[in-house]
Structure 1
Amino acid sequence: MTSLVDILDLQAAIPGIQRLRRWGHEVSAVGSGDRALDIGAGTGTEVLELADRVGPDGEAVGIDPNPAMVNIANSRAAATGSRARFVRGDTYHLPFPDGFFDAVRCERVYQHLDHPATATAEIRRVLRPGGRTLLIDSDWATAIVHPGDPGTIARLATVLHTLSPNLYAGRLLRGQLTAAGFSIASVGSEAMICDPRTARILFAPVIDRALADGVITEDEWTALLSELKTGITRGDYHFSVTMFAVLGHRMP
């Protein structure tokens, strides 16, 4: 069984995610002496990058609700001698004072939120006036699976609604920031294009739920799997979802 850490490490190696993260660091312009926060830090990869950018006079903090992730991230930071630190916390109740941070980033968290407006207001609270936030998220309505029967794939897509409360998170990021009192500074996007192994791992929960709920039959899954294997063998396949990133500045 693939662990959450393995999945996060696999995702971190996807070229599209790497490109979008590099773009995000460039436009966020986190620099020496800044205080920076990463919400939903996972294994801590991006907080280590932020720690390098803020230097010894700054502060880079990662927050995650999963205590196991916090422990892993702190261990990885210690192993590299990084000054990054990680704490357990709730997206809706960030354990920091008002106006504490110069920059906040939040990647692939909004797709899991039932109340994204509450989270955005909390981000605004912990940012100083003029501070910037970078939101990055997937838009699962853009998911592409090829080859395969279009009807079967369309029914599989309906399962995403049961796994993600904010399925269209990516396209809604700009509006979330605007409504919370941010000015939009930049917008970017990348396709998260997966190789067959990564796609199999990432889409496994969708297949399991679809079969359990009777959305597709075992025969339909067997036929789809056969088509996918044939396509992979001849090099005719595609698995992707589009990710969007929005940089906003907190207005006074």
Structure 2
Amino acid sequence: MTETEVPGGTGFVTERGSFKAAHVAEQNVDRQAFILDQMAARPAVRSLKSWALDQLAPTAGETAVDVGSGTGEDVVALHELGARAIGVEPSPGLRAEAVRRAAGADVEYVDGHAEALPFEDESVDVLRSERVLQHVDDPAVVVQEMTRVLRPGGRIALIDTDWGTAIIHPADPDVLQRMVDYFLRESANPYSGRQLRGLLADAGLEITGETAATWLEPQAGARQGFVGMMHLTSLQAGVITPEEAEAFAKTLGEAADRGAFHMSLTMHAVSAIKPRAV
């Protein structure tokens, strides 16, 4: 591993250690697919995916869109409920992987960005987006764009993480705070989870449901994923010293060896409907 590389894991991570959607073209597709697979297997994520699908309840004849569709499994899930299912994904590599995984299912994957969706006004019945807003600089613009394409009576569900709720233990409090502060500064929209309800309400949508789930990282997460890269990227940025980086990794690794490592954060989901004209 070079000094600029970081291991795959919980966050939107590239070899540059970036957490912004603007760097999507620079990502290693195999690594990103691996990260998405890891995340999709987590109980908190599975729970919120299921909740969102229940809220959206797509039916035959409806057009259902997944914005930021990644490897495409959620598009297939929308299709299996009878909808015309379309995934919007800016990464050509991930779109190709989604097509491969769909194995001939009658789904579509199109190029596009959340800020400029490739759909006509009021042409979409159902729209979902998961862990996308945390990576964009202006989430209000994105939600307004999603609202634009929804038909009156159309349903939307957003899922996202609130990185301000992350808890990591054990670690030196001062060192950890400096690393967390650096991560939050480098992230486009780290408090996305707590903003979802307000973003939807401000776009003129009627809230129909909301829930949350706690992500609990397994003990292996002390040495990989988000936690495994924190000290590396922080060291590279000059936020901590080599000695502090080494101590951080050693402390968490030893805690994991005895089953005492803890990392948790809260993920949120909110659903809404676009009002019909009176």
State the partner residue of 2:68: 40
1:209 correspondence with 2:238? no
State the partner residue of 1:230: 254
State the partner residue of 2:44: 16
**Structure 2 residue corresponding to 1:157, chosen from 180, 192, 207:** 180
Q: 1:227 to 1:205 in 2, by over 3 A?
A: closer
For residues 205 and 222 of structure 1, what CA distance do their matches in structure 2 show? 12
Query: Does the CA contact (< 8 Å) of 1:140 and 1:160 recur in 2?
Result: no
For residues 250 and 72 of structure 1, what CA distance do their matches in structure 2 show? 32
Listed as ranges, the gaps of 5+ residues in structure 1 are none
Note the alpha carbon deviations across 1:156-215, whole angstroms, 9 max, x for none. Answer: 111222331111100001110111110111001111222244462233443332111211
Q: 1:212 to 1:190 in 2, by over 3 A?
A: same
For residues 162 and 41 of structure 2, what CA distance do their matches in structure 1 show? 19
SS in 1 for 2:157: strand
Query: Does the CA contact (< 8 Å) of 1:134 and 1:248 recur in 2?
Result: yes
State the partner residue of 2:77: 49
Q: How does 1:40-79 map to 2 (within 5 A)?
A: 40-53=68-81, 55=82, 58-77=83-102, 79=103
SS in 2 for 1:20: helix
Query: Does the CA contact (< 8 Å) of 1:10 and 1:198 recur in 2?
Result: no
Q: How does 1:33-182 map to 2 (within 5 A)?
A: 33-53=61-81, 55=82, 58-77=83-102, 79=103, 81-182=104-205
Identical-residue share of aligned pairs (%): 38
What's the RMSD between the two structures over aligned residues? 1.4
One-letter amino acid of the counterpart of residue 69, structure 1: L
For residues 196 and 74 of structure 1, what CA distance do their matches in structure 2 show? 33
For residues 150 and 55 of structure 2, what CA distance do their matches in structure 1 show? 17
Query: Does the CA contact (< 8 Å) of 2:60 and 2:84 recur in 1?
Result: no
One-letter amino acid of the counterpart of residue 125, structure 1: R
One-letter amino acid of the counterpart of residue 227, structure 1: T
Count of residues in Structure 1 that have an aligned counterpart in Structure 2: 247
For residues 98 and 208 of structure 1, what CA distance do their matches in structure 2 show? 45
For residues 103 and 148 of structure 1, what CA distance do their matches in structure 2 show? 43
For residues 218 and 201 of structure 2, what CA distance do their matches in structure 1 show? 35
One-letter amino acid of the counterpart of residue 241, structure 2: T
For residues 151 and 68 of structure 1, what CA distance do their matches in structure 2 show? 40
Note the alpha carbon deviations across 1:141-164, whole angstroms, 9 max, x for none. Answer: 011111111221111111222331
